[in-house]
């Protein structure tokens, strides 16, 4: 069963407990509907649960959904892995992520997801009339398309900058007098550092950041160094924004129209998040029609919930940061990096060697990805590197090392090691 989000006896705790009961009832209805789809029906039956038996009492018996499940499903039963919940003619958008994973959305799905992003960015301080440089990717993945739509819902003017082209972003921000930006933290810091080095600071007043394992002190540094008010939200590409800060900046409030569970990383046991027992977030979206999302393991961990009332008046529990990743899938530059895809490239090239992806943060504050391969340099190293970059949709460095741990993880994330507090 679900862990209660609050053990408090005050009105705030009671309000959220009532919200959770409504969330669970909606999630049960969504799971029963999803059980008519072959992939969910097979998974539920394998767990010993039939659709008619799904209830609040049996909820904890339902299997979890993982990114690897979605990838394998799309490979075995392309393109949607037996999870398409509507007729193809009802699709409004289909996004493509590494794996490949094809994520379908109806017009209603898109409107709801965009609405969640609008709530997040409005809570973070964006207002009608703000001119916003939108710096996330527009092609293939959902991020920029849905954020662009959300900014329009708020009434912001959108400058569709997309990713990369730092000098172009600096030029446009200065020429247009852009006052707000939506960006990954490392890209934002990179722009600000370059502007400072040029002796021409930017006039940005607000920033909304998301999508990376940022250092807990990042927002304070942005304020103290650049006078920039930065607020953060946490989102999952499959369901939209999940939690967001308000202008008080005292933690990200959990969204009230999703079911969010907390489980032991790598396990199935419900836990209360704490520094001693970090918890993985599991989300169920009871609005999504084109591809229902039931008990998705996000792989993201938190190490505590703040349950005291927020000054903004919200009674939703909140957390201050994503503390890490539970498994071998992480985000780099806002994109999921799946080590298994490297193995697929190796197989095509006839390579049988141990490998490891290493994520670092450079002195300039940018993410850097390196593929370590055990043994002597490959004869077709350039071709292998190109294949891996195409599979991950990301540039990387490649290094050949004498040995790698025989049972070690295939992904090592060192971004928060040794950073100043």
Sign of CA dihedral 176, 177, 181, 187: positive
Q: Which residue has better confidence, 340 or 56?
A: 56
pLDDT digits (tens, 9 = 90+) for 125-135: 999 999 999 99
- Report the predicted TM-score, pTM, of the whole model to 2 decimal places: 0.80
Q: Are residues 287 and 349 in the same domain?
A: no
In this structure, the answer to whether residues 93 and 236 fall within a common structural domain is: yes
CB 396 within 8 A of CB 389: yes
**CATH code: domain of residue 154:** 3.40.50.12780
Q: What are phi and psi of 184, to 5 degrees?
A: -75, 145
- Does a structural domain hold residue 205? yes
The total of other beta-carbon atoms located within 10 Å of residue 167's CB is 10
Q: Which of the listed residues 327, 352, 383 is the one where a domain comes to its end? A: 327
Q: Is 333 inside any structural domain?
A: no
CA 47 remoteness from chain centre: 27
State the Cα torsion 189-191-195-201 to the nearest 10°: -70
> How many whole angstroms separate alpha carbon 106 and alpha carbon 88?
9
d(CA 383, CA 360): 24
Assign 124 to helix, strand or coil.
Answer: coil
d(CA 367, CA 62): 37
Q: Are 99 and 73 in contact (CB under 8 A)?
A: no
- Residue 418, domain member (yes or no): no
Same-domain pairing of 245 and 290: yes
**Are residues 396 and 290 both part of a single domain?**
no
Tell which phi-psi region holds residue 131, choosing left (phi > 0), alpha (psi between -120 and 50) or beta. beta
Position 178 in a domain? yes
Where residue 274 falls among pLDDT bands split at 50, 70, 90?
A: confident
Q: Are residues 35 and 174 in the same domain?
A: yes
Residue 97 has a pLDDT of 85
Please check whether residues 194 and 141 belong to one and the same domain: yes
CB 18 within 8 A of CB 6: no
Find out whether 370 and 357 touch, Cβ atoms under 8 Å.
yes
The side-by-side arrangement of strands in the sheet containing 157-159 is 157-159, 131-134, 180-183, 206-209, 229-236, 240-244, 252-254, 318-319
CA atoms of 367 and 22, how far apart (whole Å): 40
Among 327, 358, 378, which residue terminates a domain? 327
Q: Lowest-confidence range among 136-150, 334-348, 369-383, 390-404?
A: 334-348
Name the average pLDDT for the chain.
Answer: 90
Render pLDDT for 163-205 as a digit per residue (tens, 0 to 9).
889 999 999 999 999 999 999 988 998 999 999 999 999 999 9
Look at residue 228 and tell me if it is in a domain. Answer: yes
Q: Which residues of 276-285 are buried (b: 16+ CB within 10 A; e: fewer)?
A: eebbbbbbbb
The answer to whether residue 332 is domain-embedded is: no
**Residues 262 and 390 reside in one and the same domain:** no
The number of domains in the chain is: 2
Tell me the pLDDT tens digit for each residue of 19-64: 899 999 999 999 999 999 999 999 999 999 999 999 999 999 999 9
Identify the domain boundary among 263, 293, 327.
327
In whole angstroms, give the CA distance from residue 286 to residue 26.
Answer: 6
Range of the domain at 226: 1-327
What CATH number is attached to the domain comprising 400?
A: 3.30.300.30
- Tokens representing 271 are 């836990």
Q: Token pair 């806002």 is at which residue?
A: 334
Same structural domain, 118 and 192:
yes
Residue 90 pLDDT level (bands cut at 50, 70, 90): very high
Assess if residue 419 is contained within a domain. no
Q: Clarify whether residues 171 and 232 are in a common domain.
A: yes
Same-domain status, 390 and 316: no
**Do 33 and 180 belong together in one domain?**
yes
Percent share of the chain, pLDDT over 90: 67
pLDDT of the residue at 406: 75
Q: Could you tell me if residue 49 is inside a domain?
A: yes
Cβ atoms of 139 and 261 closer than 8 Å: no
Tokens at 111, concatenated: 């409107």
Query: Do residues 408 and 287 both lie within one domain?
Result: no
């Amino acid at each position: 069963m679900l862990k209660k989000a609050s053990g408090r006896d005050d009105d705030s705790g009671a309000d959220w407990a009532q919200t959770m009961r409504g969330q669970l009832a909606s999630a049960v209805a969504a799971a029963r509907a999803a059980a008519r789809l072959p992939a969910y029906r097979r998974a539920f039956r394998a767990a010993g649960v039939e659709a008619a038996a799904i209830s609040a009492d049996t909820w904890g018996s339902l299997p979890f959904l993982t990114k690897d499940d979605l990838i394998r499903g799309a490979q075995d039963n392309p393109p949607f892995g037996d999870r398409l919940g509507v007729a193809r003619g009802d699709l409004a958008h289909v996004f493509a992520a590494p794996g490949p994973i094809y994520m379908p959305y109806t017009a209603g799905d898109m409107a709801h997801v965009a609405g969640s992003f609008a709530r997040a960015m409005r809570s973070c301080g964006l207002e009608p009339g703000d001119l916003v440089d939108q710096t996330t990717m527009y092609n293939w993945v959902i991020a920029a398309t849905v954020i662009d739509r959300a900014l329009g819902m708020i009434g912001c003017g959108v400058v569709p900058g997309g990713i990369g082209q730092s000098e172009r972003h600096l030029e446009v921000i200065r020429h247009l007098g852009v006052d707000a930006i939506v960006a990954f933290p490392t890209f934002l810091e990179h722009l600000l550092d370059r502007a400072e080095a040029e002796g021409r600071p930017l006039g940005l007043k607000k920033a909304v950041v998301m999508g990376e394992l940022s250092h807990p002190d990042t927002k304070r540094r942005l304020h103290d160094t650049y006078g920039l008010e930065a607020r953060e939200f946490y989102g999952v590409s499959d369901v939209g924004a999940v939690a967001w800060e308000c202008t008080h900046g005292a933690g990200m409030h959990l969204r009230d129209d999703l079911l969010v569970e907390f489980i032991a990383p790598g396990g199935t046991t419900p836990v209360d998040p704490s520094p001693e027992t970090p918890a993985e977030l599991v989300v169920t979206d009871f609005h999504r029609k084109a591809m229902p999302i039931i008990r998705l393991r996000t792989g993201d961990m938190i190490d505590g919930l703040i349950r005291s009332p927020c000054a903004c008046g919200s009674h939703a529990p909140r957390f201050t940061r994503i503390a890490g990743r539970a498994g071998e899938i992480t985000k780099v530059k806002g994109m999921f990096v799946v080590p298994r895809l490297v193995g697929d490239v190796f197989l095509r090239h006839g390579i049988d060697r141990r490998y490891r992806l290493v994520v670092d943060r450079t002195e300039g504050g940018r993410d850097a990805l390196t593929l370590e391969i055990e043994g002597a340099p490959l004869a077709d190293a350039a071709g292998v590197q190109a294949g891996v970059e195409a599979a991950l949709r990301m540039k990387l460095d490649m290094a050949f090392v004498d040995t790698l741990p025989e049972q070690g993880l295939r992904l090592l994330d060192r971004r928060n090691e040794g950073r100043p507090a």
